[in-house]
Structure 1
């Protein structure tokens, strides 16, 4: 990370806030993006406002609700608590990055659709990324492990039963996909 400096005017600053701007290179969903951001720009804001990846939602802004969850090097992280400048060098995956290469729904997304694991949808991106990472770690969770997997994310609409069913269904879909890949 470096502060861009113009030979005539010195360090570059944001015209509205006066904050120094930093050049950062973020790798998001396999694509490298060069940005110029203030040091205190949250990763969630960089994703939504600078990169236009609006699937990452911001709910509580305190890291409690999980709506902003993205994967950082494959592990769930709250994007509302991370600074964009601290994300340099990491592989960031947003909900947009969970689709298959052909653009079709990935197994976790498909399971949420099939099991009606969403209602208003605001919390859904955080659940999808959380479950994706959880199934990477535990590809065949018990019912109780599926419930624990989503324990850090809040939903005000669903009552969680269909979300737990979606976790269990996603595990099945992932196994079926893996079996199909081996055939």
Structure 2
């Protein structure tokens, strides 16, 4: 649906209807590429913030190390940001004690994923190599292509290797099935 533009109709400045505040700034068209201030009223007739909403102001929100560590752990467990915030809220006793909004949680998770984006395959390889050092019965192997991109990955813990020896069967699964677009 197109918006109708009425030519020759002047818009009138409206003061705030909710509290009767007359603070405003009126601009006047000066030249084709500029405006000038016609009227400016700085005084407000109300408080600029109210107590219940102070926690939502950008200056009062932050993600400290505890928040970041919790979001990181939830990301590792594949828990989304909405559920992460809900669980954190329950842990600290309410939204007023969280100290951040859902958008702050989402932004941190986005930045975290952007940070590890190019190294996610290397993280998996390093983790499995550490497991192989701890558990001598673990089998782990991987292949990379000419561009140093991970192409295949295989691992089997000690129990899986023993079960293969006893039963002679292998169960394989594709963890990315129906998740990649």
Bucket of the pairwise TM-score, normalised by the shorter protein: under 0.3
Q: TM-score, normalised by structure 1?
A: 0.26
Which of the two has higher C-alpha Rg?
Answer: 2
Q: Normalising by structure 2, what TM-score?
A: 0.27
